[in-house]
Amino acid sequence: DAKTTQPTSMDCAEGRAANLPCNHSTISGNEYVYWYRQIHSQGPQYIIHGLKNNETNEMASLIITEDRKSSTLILPHATLRDTAVYYCIVSPLYNFNKFYFGSGTKLNVKP
């Protein structure tokens, strides 16, 4: 069962910020928001996760709305190597029974 909604695809110019939205209106209080990406023919790669506060690491920033019903992944300076499918997942931290990747957003970074 899909618990997240993402656009099918997005384009971004190289060097600009990529903002990838995700709706998760039925998120439960103990569920985290995870972001993974999958570059063509490779295994998925973890990007970032958060519960309710905004998070930042060397790869990206995660902005979660105050009601936690949606979030945005921000790649501050997209490069061609960031072209990938980006998955938004909601799941409890220690329970993977419902770790559902869904269809994701295909991000195309263009020169």
Partner 1 sequence: DAGVIQSPRHEVTEMGQEVTLRCKPISGHNSLFWYRQTMMRGLELLIYFNNNVPIDDSGMPEDRFSAKMPNASFSTLKIQPSEPRDSAVYFCASTSYTENYEQYFGPGTRLTVT
Binding site for partner 1 (CB under 8 A): 36, 38, 41-46, 49, 87, 93-94, 96-97, 99-104
Supply the minimum distance, in Å, between the C-beta of residue 32 and partner 1. 9
Supply the minimum distance, in Å, between the C-beta of residue 109 and partner 1. 22
Measure the CA angle with vertex 65, ends 47 and 44; round to 5°: 20
CB nearer to partner 1: pick between 21 and 92? 92
Supply the minimum distance, in Å, between the C-beta of residue 9 and partner 1. 15
CB nearer to partner 1: pick between 17 and 93? 93
CB nearer to partner 1: pick between 45 and 65? 45
CB nearer to partner 1: pick between 7 and 102? 102
Residue 72 near residue 19 (C-beta atoms within 8 A): yes
| φ, ψ dihedrals at 82, nearest 5° | -85, -5
Supply the minimum distance, in Å, between the C-beta of residue 102 and partner 1. 7
Measure the CA angle with vertex 102, ends 101 and 107; round to 5°: 95
- Of 88, 85, 73, 74, the closest CA to residue 2 belongs to 88
Give the separation between CA 29 and CA 52, rounded to whole angstroms: 9
